[in-house]
Structure 1
Amino acid sequence: MKKINKFWKKIIIVLMLLGGMGVVTTEQTTQPVQAASHKIAKKAKKKQHKKKRLKKQIKIDRQKKHHRVKKQIKASKLRIPVATIYVGTSNAEDRQATEAALAAWNQTGAVKFIQVAKPQQAYIYLHDGNYGQTTWAGEEIERRVTKNTRSSEFRLNDFYMRIIDPQSRIDVAEHELGHAIGLNHIDGRPSVMNSVLDLGHAYSIQPIDVVSVITLYNTQR
């Protein structure tokens, strides 16, 4: 009888040991699975957050280096660069935004834009149209330089211009006018020449933009 009791005791001890090992094994395998699922969830959340951020931003134009145009724009008696512009926008809101942008640049005293009645008389030709879901809200098409004429052509994309607020439309126009007189993108600091328009926080003409024009043309104020 004692032998039988000892036998069952041994079996019970073995079963307890096996059960204990099973618990340890289960805990060791579930922890990595939980950690992996947590990483996947974290990545998905980060990706979703990035998508939401991208929806709030619009590229103002394509990355393009604008060369110095000092010789192409005449200097007035006030020793500031003067550029003629023909505003050929068909959209009333785009026209208002462009004219407000022209006034804003003229108020800086670093440059003077003059509107003309015919595109042939203009150094800058700006127009608009709905070009669809591109990657830009404004774009320089080309800079034509011939023996008798010099011109820079820009267009505004109404697909984006109609969904942004009035001030942002002015900012886009100011940005393209900055390119028209030779300014390049300025990122990483407050500037109207930022390459991306953040719909929640856009920049108009900043002191650094005025300094950039003065430096480019070596003008005195």
Structure 2
Amino acid sequence: MKLIKAVVTLIRWTLKLILTGILLMLVAYFLASSNWLKADNKLALALNQGLVQVEAWLSKAGVLPKLAMTERKASQADTDDNQAQGARWPQNQARVYLELTDPKLKRACLVAMSAWNDTGAFKFVQTTDKDKAQIICRAISDSTNGAAGETETDLALPQKQLTHATVYLNKYYLFNPSYSYSWQRIINTAEHELGHAIGLRHTNEISVMQPTGSNYSIQQADVTKVRELYSR
């Protein structure tokens, strides 16, 4: 009898925590997207980062949907034609400016940045100063380029050192019901494009860097490649 009561109590507390997390996420989402916050970049940044942490907790708790591998694959991919083999930043860290007005894309980028940071192989640092940014994330809506995401990089030759990168997330595909992009697949796309910004190229292995760009999240193989790239 005592065991049953303990289990019931545990379930009640778990439900309370989940509901509290959902409430915090909704409040943070509302505040982060409110016009009055636009004048206070630091506060907006803090709220966005708090929202990312809440979403990560809810995902681990099984509240947010996981990646469904049976979802329809989009017929498009991204491109890395502008990525030179072996290109890298001077160190395994870069400043990122999110030039994104869409709250969903902004959150996806923040979650993707956090995922890369958690690997310990590379660190993305968000900045509110566009002039100091080494990487800029932007949204486009283009039905003609056949890509859910693209990344352009500038290099200093002959050392093939990255000097600037621009990540484009294509709302036409990411938000188009015909391509069935779940929230997790949008995050995977952002992780993929940030992988290009780090210096990674496409691979046919099980990897976030597969050409389709959304089937997998960051894998151990991706972490290993980043470590190898920045150990040279």
Global fold match (TM > 0.5)? yes
Partner of 2:32: none
Cα distance, 1:92 vs structure 2: 0.9
Cα distance, 1:56 vs structure 2: 2.8
State yes or no: 1:120 paired with 2:136.
Answer: no
Cα displacement string for residues 8-38 of structure 1 (whole angstroms, at most 9, x for unaligned residues): xxxxxxxxxxxxxxxxxxxxxxxxxxxxxxx
Partner of 1:137: 148
Partner of 2:61: none
Cα distance, 1:183 vs structure 2: 0.3
User: Letter of the aligned partner of 1:109 in structure 2?
Assistant: G
- Specify the SS of the correspondent of 1:214: helix
Task: Choose the corresponding residue for 2:77, options 41, 50, 60.
Answer: 60
Q: Is the 8 A contact 1:89 1:126 kept in 2?
A: yes
Q: Is the 8 A contact 1:145 1:151 kept in 2?
A: no
Partner of 1:178: 195
Give the percent of matched residue pairs that are identical in Structure 1 and Structure 2.
32
Q: Is the 8 A contact 2:137 2:167 kept in 1?
A: yes
Measure, in 1, the Cα distance between the counterparts of 2:82 and 2:155. Answer: 15
Task: Give 1:1-221 correspondences, 5 Å limit.
Answer: 56-64=73-81, 66-67=83-84, 68-70=86-88, 72-74=89-91, 81-143=92-154, 150-163=163-176, 164-187=181-204, 189-197=205-213, 202-218=215-231
Q: Is the 8 A contact 1:58 1:137 kept in 2?
A: no
Rg (Cα) greater in structure:
1
Range 206-215 or range 58-67, more displaced? 58-67
Measure, in 2, the Cα distance between the counterparts of 1:64 and 1:196. Answer: 14
- Specify the SS of the correspondent of 2:110: helix
Q: 1:124 to 1:63 in 2, by over 3 A?
A: closer
Q: 1:65 to 1:73 in 2, by over 3 A?
A: same
- Specify the SS of the correspondent of 1:57: coil
- Specify the SS of the correspondent of 2:108: helix
Measure, in 2, the Cα distance between the counterparts of 1:138 and 1:206. Answer: 19
Q: Is the 8 A contact 1:175 1:193 kept in 2?
A: yes
Cα displacement string for residues 193-217 of structure 1 (whole angstroms, at most 9, x for unaligned residues): 000146xxx1000010000001101
Cα distance, 1:143 vs structure 2: 2.0
Q: 1:208 to 1:153 in 2, by over 3 A?
A: same
What TM-score does the superposition give when structure 1 sets the normalisation length?
0.63
Partner of 2:3: none
User: Letter of the aligned partner of 1:60 in structure 2?
Assistant: A
Matched positions, count: 153
- Runs of 4 or more above 4 Å deviation: none
Q: Is the 8 A contact 2:93 2:123 kept in 1?
A: yes
Q: Is the 8 A contact 2:188 2:208 kept in 1?
A: yes
Cα displacement string for residues 75-122 of structure 1 (whole angstroms, at most 9, x for unaligned residues): xxxxxx111111111211100100000000000011110001122111
User: Letter of the aligned partner of 2:187 in structure 1?
Assistant: I
Q: Is the 8 A contact 1:133 1:159 kept in 2?
A: no
Measure, in 1, the Cα distance between the counterparts of 2:148 and 2:220. Answer: 24
Cα distance, 1:133 vs structure 2: 4.5
**Which blocks of at least 5 consecutive residues in structure 1 are unaligned?**
1-54, 75-80
